[in-house]
Amino acid sequence: MNSDNFSPTKANRAQIKYCDEHECPVFAPMNGVCYRCGYNIYLRTNGKSGPRGITVEEAGSRLITSCPHCGYSFVE
């Protein structure tokens, strides 16, 4: 698995596919942009605690419920 595979379009599709296969709602913003901080959740940024962002592989393997950049919950 390539840990640096960041692609907003592919990651969004992977998250939708994951949610369809697991019969759960898509909580992540459809355009990938966090409602609070304005960063794209599917792009890598360097934060104080290291790199952040959701890879294509990660988007296809788990339910995304919050922003990796600011921690804002998409569920509440």
Residue 2 has pLDDT above 60, yes or no: no
pLDDT in tens, 19-53: 999 999 999 999 999 999 999 999 998 877 777 99
Residue 14 has pLDDT above 50, yes or no: yes
Per-residue pLDDT at 48: 75
Per-residue pLDDT at 4: 67
Predicted TM-score of the model (pTM): 0.89
CA–CA distance, 31 with 22 (Å, rounded to integer): 21
Closest listed residue to residue 62, CA positions, set 32, 9, 29, 24? 24
